[in-house]
Amino acid sequence: MHPTSGRIPLVLSLLAALAVPPAAADRWSGNKARVYELYADYKAKDFPQALDISARTLMNLMDSLEVVLVDVREPGERAVSMLPGAITEETYLADPGRYDGALVVSYCTIGYRSGVLAVRMAGEGRRMVNIKAGLLGWVHEGGAVHDPSGRETKRIHVYGRTWNLPPAGFTAVW
């Protein structure tokens, strides 16, 4: 058993209590607010039972827990940027037992596809948490993204015009 695995259930039970609404901090706050609004609507309608975690809370936990980030986006999206250290959905699904004991966290552009995957994994007895508002939530909370060579980048793939909601300083592509 991994030394942090006993803490994961406690962490999951505290997620709802720790999550705070995003604060409007800059001129791009309208984008940030819209990202969280879209996510809340998607979750309520299509995957209400999915466990989720705010990007800020996740960033704070990453120093103290083993975290596996699972990017469920398509290869073309991942070719623009990914969260540092993330693995693909395909890699995860090839051997999900390999990640037992870790906090497994899925993400996509806004959290829809990853929320659906989190629910599917729960149905298979696997614990997976979804990043609230996905990659967009991550960058709006100050998280870094890396290009395929591992260098930090300010480019993000946002899937389509509807999700063209980057924070200041980022370039959205689709």
Helix H or strand E encompassing 104? strand 103-107
Mean pLDDT computed over every residue of the chain: 90
Which DSSP state fits 82?
A: B
Q: d(Cα 90, Cα 96) in Å, to the nearest integer?
A: 10
CA atoms lying within 13 Å on the CB side of residue 76: 5
Task: Give the pLDDT confidence score for residue 29 in this predicted structure.
Answer: 74
Structure tokens at 45: 């309608």
pLDDT at 24 over 50: no
User: CB under 8 Å to 143, separation ≥6 — which residues?
Assistant: 55, 59, 83
Domain assignment present for 87: yes
3-state secondary structure of 7: helix
Q: Using CA atoms, how far apart are residues 171 and 72, in angstroms rounded to an integer? A: 21
Output the pTM of the full model.
Answer: 0.85
The parent domain of residue 130 ranges over 5-13+36-165
SS3 77: helix
Is residue 171, in this structure, part of any structural domain at all?
no
Q: Is there a domain that residue 143 lies in?
A: yes
The pLDDT assigned to 17 comes to 44
- Domain of 100, CATH number, reads 3.40.250.10
Across the range 54-71, mean pLDDT stands at: 97
Per-position b or e across 103-118, b if 16+ CB within 10 A of its CB: bbbbbbbbbbbbbbbb
Residue 18 lies in a domain: no
Whether residue 25 is contained in a domain is answered as no
- Nearest Cα neighbor of 89 from 130, 37, 139 is 130
Is 159 inside a domain boundary? yes
pLDDT at 7 over 50: yes
Mean pLDDT throughout 4-15? 61
DSSP H or E stretch at residue 156: strand 155-157
- Asked if residue 173 is part of any domain, the answer here is no
Q: Is the pLDDT reported for residue 10 higher than 50? A: yes
Which residue did the predictor score with more confidence, 2 or 100? 100
Based on the number of CB atoms within 10 Å of its own CB, is 47 exposed (0-12), middle (13-18) or buried (19 or more)? buried
Domain count, the chain: 1
